[in-house]
Amino acid sequence: MSSWPQNVGILGLEIIFPSQYVDQTELEVFDGASAGKYTIGLGQSKMGFCSDREDVNSLCLTVVNNLLDRHGIPHSKIGRLEVGTETIVDKSKSVKSVLMQLFEPNGVTDLEGIDTTNACYGGTAALFNALNWVESSSWDGRLALVVCADIAVYAQGSARPTGGAGAVAMLIGPDAPLVIDRGMRASYMKHAYDFYKPDLSSEYPVVDGKLSIQCYLSALDNCYQLYRKKYAQKHVNAPAVDLNLFDAIIFHTPYCKLVQKSLARLGLNDFVLTPKDKRIEIYPGFEQFIDVKLEDTYFDRDVEKAFMTHYTPVFDAKTKKSLHLANQVGNMYTPSVYSGLVSLLINHEVSELAGKKVGVFSYGSGLASSMYSISITADVQALGTFKSHLNYVQPLLDARKKVVPEEFTKLMEIREKNNHAAPYEPSGDVDVLFPGTYYLSSVDKMHRRVYQRTSTNKPEKNCSS
């Protein structure tokens, strides 16, 4: 290539989520939980879930096919395809290999990329790899496609309301409406057993809840401080970096209440990083926290309450609207932070978004985390076209079917009982799926999976894995 590709970022964005959900208020009653435990304590309203008719392969088939169709992208225009997921169906065969069934009939087999796995961080790693490819000597002028997909399920109990499912696909290339700021990535990686899946026969994770929160907040502290440092090094004459740098901030969302705490924690970082002799001048009323240390505050209710109260207007202005899908669908795992991006876009007018800077915090247990930023184009026409492709999201949310907790529990029991069963004929209702959804048709005795697609008034496609 004769020149470095400019303004590399997101050219197109597609999201899918389950067609069925359970109401969290009803689930509180069914579980015998105190009123508001899930809805207020966790900040969740509804939780999407998949029957045994959907798995990570079917989610990815659907979201990739939808993106290419909606944006009119020929398969031959894609030169790299990478999947980020922690929902493992096969210990060897990648989800990417299953997706090749969409490309092979179009003569496309020269397609780099496979799967990337580390809890909820895999999609961000895939995104970074796609950006690196476009900005490298390996780039051949085609576009990259990043797919994030997961099904988050938990055993019956206190963790089950934090489940969810979904998939996001992102088209990556130059001259993008959403530019990933070059050289502004800050990462924090560490070994931890906060959330992991050691039992390969089960979909359920092992979770150390308290450690998981501490790891998440510690990673946020480290990523934010390193981002501040890198920004200051790159913009030598710019004012000191703080929350004012970002017009919006989106977070990986295990549950919505944690994100509200996380936004306030960025404010706590700003406070701690302010020279001690200026803290009270800038933050009047925080005298009691003058000597606070970040590592001592993970579970300090006084600090948490004070900063959450102080930063409520900032949260409302910069983050709250990005939690729309997380509140309505639940934790999508790998797609979670990108569902926040979709929510941010569909809940603001083009004029409110043009020229804005979005901070992004991505976290995956184990642990891997990064903070980076997105600069939204100031070109109102280009942004309007980009945003118009997301007009289907809210109507699709509204079209979902509510399932009572008793039926939801039965469907989860079927899913648990038949996990990795072969041969297997799924029993979930196909008629409740959205039009154009790929679904699991059968699994033969050799564990080979066959997929079909619900009607869209177009010829159905059969796929296998």
- Measured CA to CA, the distance from residue 360 to residue 323 in angstroms comes to 13
Q: Copy the structure tokens of residue 96.
A: 């990417």
For 143, phi then psi, to 5°, come to -95, 160
Q: What angle do CA 411, 415, 421 make, to 5 degrees?
A: 145
- Measured CA to CA, the distance from residue 49 to residue 52 in angstroms comes to 10
User: 89: closest CA among 465, 436, 405?
Assistant: 465
Provide the pLDDT confidence category of residue 4 given band limits of 50, 70 and 90: confident
* SS3 label, residue 178: strand
Q: Copy the structure tokens of residue 344.
A: 């941010």
CB 453 within 8 A of CB 464: no
Measuring CA to CA, how many Å separate 91 from each of 76, 118, 233, 397? 29, 14, 43, 33
Please give the pLDDT value at position 463.
72
The residues carrying an active-site annotation are 86, 120, 252
The DSSP annotation for 89-116 comes to S-SSS-HHHHHHHHHGGGT----B--EE
- Measured CA to CA, the distance from residue 169 to residue 62 in angstroms comes to 10
**pTM of the complete model:** 0.96
Provide the pLDDT confidence category of residue 457 given band limits of 50, 70 and 90: low
Summarised one tens digit per residue, pLDDT across range 203-250 is: 999 999 999 999 999 999 999 999 999 999 998 888 878 999 999 999
